[in-house]
Amino acid sequence: MADPRRIDLVRSPHVEAASHLPLLPGSNVAFINAMAHVVVTEGLADEEFLRERCEDVDPYLEFIRRDENSTEATAAATGLDPEQVRAAARLYASAPNGSIYYGLGVTEHSQGSTMVMGLANLAMLTGNIGRKGVGVNPLRGQNNVQGSCDMGSFPHELPGYRHISRPEVRAIYEDLWGVSLDPEPGLRIPNMFDAAIGGTFRGLYVQGEDIAQSDPNLQHVRAALTSMELVVVQDLFLNETARYAHVFLPGSSFLEKDGTFTNAERRLGRVRPIMPSKVGKDEWQAVCEIATAMGFPMHYDDAAQIMDEIAATTPTFAGVSLERLDREGSMQWPVNEAAPTGTPTMHVEQFVRGRGRLVPTVFVPTTETTNRRFPLILTTGRILSQYNVGAQTRRTANSTWHPEDVLEIHPSDAELRGIRTGDRVELSSRVGTTTVTAQVSERMQPGVVYTTFHHPVTGANVVTTENSDWATNCPEYKVTAVQVAVANAGRPGDAADGAADGAELVGSRPSGASR
Amino acid sequence: MNGQSVDDPNPAAPDLADPDLADPDLDAPTDADPVPDQGPPTGDDVDAQERQHQPADLRMGHDIARAMAHHPPERAAEEIATHLRKFWDPRMRATILARVDRGEPMDDLLRAGVELLREGEIDPSEVRKPSGG
């Protein structure tokens, strides 16, 4: 278990990690390189797998053997005990089956893509890919992230991960719909905001996402939303983004939806409505009506017809239909002529691209560094009882368990600042400032603080930066340099004992003075 | 400062009249929080604060250049150009091309990559296979 915090999975009633590696935020790539370095230098690599299934092996081995990737050399970045890293690498490499599960947060670093390549390298090095019980498995952040990615939600791809520049792929849709498609990549979300402020991006249709709370550097997001000429929000609830909407379209819940959700093992599961949509329309019907009003008569009789079009246009979904899913149960894509009942395990004989390519994963640290003004690293995350920005769960009794976002801080960092559990503290970064309630916690390591982003009143993303993954532009939510201090009027009742002067509060209060 | 070395056995009290001590630069890196020295050096010396106000194309371009800087320069420039062609919206490509045309300061590697971007179209072999699955 590698996580900066001692999370519940490290030890809970039914789970105990053999090893918890409390690495410093931002050092993932240094860590995974150290793991691979141990595997290679101690002769634990699967030579046969490398020879028969992989390519670019020698340049990678030359890179990973270098001293800069040793457990000792990377310790400065990771903060990890070299012996513990070696033990973890031996444990993974020598297991009959070794599988890697990684959280969504891995991608939320300026080297997120490099880290995923590093994980793939490690799996290939040890031959842990392409059979049951092994592999590199992302734990998705939302129930249907896989499904929406499969359907071409990237600005440069059509469904089935096919690049928009390919004329033969565009032709499939152009012939079917009688239109011509732009062959160029579109903008990613953060770049849409920049273009909106720049005046070249004037309208946005947001479905089921609360960008005015979930995206980094919220001041910037709000400036962008107010710059646009038309913001359409379609959601189950009037969320934070709806404040900026010119048009609000009601959405529907999963209990009213007809279709499929796809999980991280590429499994398409049926979603069936248990009740008709309360708003009298399915979400896809709203899309069809907007398209029709804009001059393209888009019509489907039902969700099954949409799935039929997906199957007809996307090779990996060729054998999928709602009727078949109803009859035979869930299926894992690709479902096509080569795999009529689906594909439980991928990369069995060879990888999709042929041979697995080993990529040297040089550790390039983030530019978001600590200094005297911002000496702590903030990492943000989610907890079990609230979902993402809480648009749905804050409206339920779950809020009894998690009524507000709290800042977890190590006892030594708290003591240095005169902070006790329950204090209101000011959390500042190079980008912004917010206030939040502190919770002193030994789950944290010194120098690292943590908070959730479930509540708009906290607005944890007011402090997160513009930094993003070099390849995907995924925001770096996991590494923000911050300072924490007791806020003015930080404690209930403080004003009465005359100690509410902010200047006196920071670090200078005799312990227990007010309680 | 004041000619004292760290080995001085009897250091004098800090001189608060010294402007460096009276008004320390809180944003300067300290020994405890060094500027990252791992990974390849690049010509991008913009600090963490300034970065937050940099135009996105420049900030992202420098990130890509840093990620590619471990390659030999020619290969790195090709990788940068390919990335920009595959993933950047035409507006952003035009913006960074215009910066190069105006001779704006930027990392040499990034500039080389953008120059290559100007010269060629996307290579079909780069996008032949699905990127996922």
What's the gap in Å between the CA of A201 and the closest CA on chain B?
10
Question: How far, in Å, CA of A29 to CA of A31, rounded?
Answer: 5
Between chains, do B51 and A466 touch, taking CB under 8 Å as contact?
yes
Residues β-bridged to residue A101: A137
Residue B37: closest C-alpha in chain A: A365
pLDDT in tens, A163-222: 999 999 999 999 999 999 999 999 999 999 999 999 999 999 999 889 988 888 888 899
Q: What is the pLDDT of residue B12?
A: 56
Tell me the backbone φ, ψ of residue A426, rounded to 5 degrees: -95, 130
Structure tokens at A398: 């779950």
pLDDT classification of B47: cutoffs 50, 70, 90:
confident
Q: Does some domain include residue B78?
A: yes
Residue of A287 and A492 predicted with greater confidence: A287
Question: CB under 8 Å to A465, separation ≥6 — which residues?
Answer: A216, A217, A368, A429, A430, A431, A476, A480, B51, B52
Which of residues 384 through 403 in chain A touch B, CB cutoff 8 A? none
> Is pLDDT at A494 greater than 60 in this prediction?
no
A153: β partners: none
pLDDT for the residue A462: 86
Q: Tell whether the model's pLDDT for residue B32 goes beyond 60.
A: no
User: Does residue B39 fall inside a structural domain?
Assistant: no
Residue A111 with chain B: CB contacts under 8 Å: 67
pLDDT score of B79:
94
Indicate the helix (H) or strand (E) that contains A12.
strand A11-12
**Average confidence (pLDDT) over B89-104:** 95
Closest CA to A203 of A217, A218, A215, A187: A187
A390 against B2, higher pLDDT:
A390
pLDDT at A74 over 60: yes
- Residue B18: pLDDT over 90: no
Q: How confident is the model at residue A396 (pLDDT cuts 50, 70, 90)?
A: confident
Interface A-B, measured as beta-carbon pairs within 8 A, has a size of 135
Strand partners, A424: A437
Q: What is the mean pLDDT of residues B33-49?
A: 52
Our count of domains for chain B comes to 1
What residue in B sits closest to A465 (Cα-Cα)? B52
Q: Alpha carbon of A71 to those of A22, A45, A93, A183, B84: distances in Å?
A: 14, 17, 16, 46, 34
Whether B9 maps to a domain, the answer reads no
The whole-number average pLDDT for the span A72-80 is 94
Distance CA A3, CA A185 (A): 35
Partner residue facing A365 (CB), from B39, B56, B70: B39
SS3 label, residue A16: strand
Closest CA to A467 of A458, A455, A454, A476: A476
Count of beta carbons in the 10 Å neighbourhood of residue A237: 14
Exposure b/e, A360-381, CB count within 10 A at least 16 = b: bbbbbbbbbbbbebbbbbbbbb
Considering the domain boundaries, does residue B133 fall inside one?
Answer: no
Closest residue in chain A to residue B63, using alpha carbons only: A470
For residue B122, what is the nearest residue in chain A, using CA coordinates?
A165
Torsions phi, psi for A186 (to 5 deg): -95, -170
Q: Which residues of A touch B122 (CB under 8 A)?
A: 165
Looking at residue A35, its pLDDT comes to 98
Question: Which comes out higher in pLDDT, residue A345 or A141?
Answer: A345
For residues B51 and A459, give the distance between their C-alpha atoms in angstroms, rounded to a whole number: 22
Q: How far is the C-alpha of A368 from the C-alpha of B49, rounded, in Å?
A: 9
Query: Is pLDDT of A295 > 90?
Result: yes
Determine whether the interchain pair B64/A363 forms a contact, defined as Cβ–Cβ distance below 8 Å: no
Q: Name residues 151-180 of chain A within 8 A of B (Cβ).
A: 155-157, 160-163, 165-166
pLDDT digit string (tens) for B106-119?
999 999 999 999 88
Residue B74, in any domain of the structure: yes
Please indicate whether residue B97 or residue B50 has the higher confidence score (pLDDT).
B97
Of A76, A185, A431, which has the smallest distance from its Cβ to B52's Cβ? A431
Asked whether the predicted pLDDT for residue B31 surpasses 60, the reply is: no
pLDDT in tens, A77-96: 999 999 999 999 999 999 99
Asked if A343 is an interface residue toward chain B (Cβ–Cβ < 8 A), one would say no
pLDDT of residue A188: 93
The whole-number pLDDT of residue B6 equals 46
On the question of pLDDT at A118 being above 90, the answer is yes
C-alpha–C-alpha distance, residues B11 and A495, integer Å: 42
Beta bridge partners of A269: A261
Neighbouring C-alpha atoms within 13 Å toward the C-beta of B40: 19
Find the CB nearest B89 among A149, A186, A366. A186
Max mean pLDDT range (A47-51, A371-375, A390-394, A456-460): A47-51
The pLDDT of residue A389: 79
Is B52 in contact with A111 (Cβ distance < 8 A)? no
For residues A328-347, average pLDDT: 94
Chain A's closest residue to B45, CA to CA, is A367
3-state secondary structure of A199: coil
By the 8 A CB rule, do A181 and A173 touch? Answer: yes
Instruction: Examine residue B14 and state whether it is found in any structural domain, yes or no.
Output: no
Instruction: Show the DSSP H helices in A42-102 as ranges.
Output: 47-53, 57-65, 71-78, 82-94
Question: B83: nearest CA in chain A?
Answer: A471
Average predicted confidence (pLDDT) for chain B: 77
How many percent of chain A have pLDDT more than 70? 95
- The token pair at B2 is 């004041």
Q: Where are the beta strands (DSSP E) in A344-432?
A: 356-357, 376-381, 406-409, 424-429
Task: For chain A, positions 98-117, list CB contacts with chain B under 8 A.
Answer: 110-111, 114
Give the C-alpha separation, B53 to B59, whole Å: 9
- Per the prediction, chain A carries an average pLDDT of 90
What pLDDT, on the 0 to 100 scale, is given for residue A345? 93
Amino acid B30: pLDDT: 56
Q: Does position B33 have pLDDT exceeding 90, yes or no?
A: no
Sorting pLDDT into bands at 50, 70 and 90, what band is B19?
Answer: low
Q: How many helices (H) and strands (E) does chain B have?
A: 6, 0
Give the domain range for residue B87. 52-120
Give ipTM to 2 decimals: 0.88
DSSP codes of every residue in B22-52: HS--TTS--SSSPPP-SS---S----HHHHT
Structure tokens at B53: 């106000």
Å between A204 CA and nearest CA of chain B = 16
* Nearest C-alpha in B relative to A198: B55
Q: Which two tokens stand for residue A495?
A: 């004003």
Q: What is the pLDDT of residue A413?
A: 96
Q: Which residue in the set B46, B47, B87 is minimally distant from A185, CB to CB?
A: B87
SS3 at position A306: helix
Q: What is the pLDDT of residues A405-449, one digit of tens each?
A: 999 999 999 999 999 999 999 999 998 999 999 999 999 999 999
B97 assigned to some structural domain: yes
Instruction: Give per-residue pLDDT as tens, A240-271.
Output: 999 999 999 999 999 999 999 999 999 999 99
**Could you give the CA distance from residue A358 to residue A49 in angstroms, rounded to a whole number?**
12
Mean pLDDT of A22-33: 96
User: What pLDDT does residue A385 have?
Assistant: 82
Q: Which residues of B touch A187 (CB under 8 A)?
A: 89, 91-92
The shortest CB-CB distance from A353 to any of B30, B83, B129 is to: B129
Q: Which domains does chain A have, with CATH numbers?
A: 8-139 (3.40.228.10), 145-332 (3.40.50.740), 376-505 (2.40.40.20)
pLDDT band of B82, cuts 50, 70, 90: very high
Of the candidate ranges A105-114, A219-228, A376-385, the one whose mean pLDDT is the lowest: A376-385
Judged against a pLDDT cut of 90, whether residue A292 lies above it is answered with yes
Please tell me what DSSP assigns to residue A478. T
User: Where does B52-89 have alpha helices with state H?
Assistant: 56-68, 73-87
Note which residues in 256-285 of chain A have CB less than 8 A from chain B. Answer: 266
**Residue predicted with more confidence, B49 or A245:** A245
Residue B33 resides in a domain = no
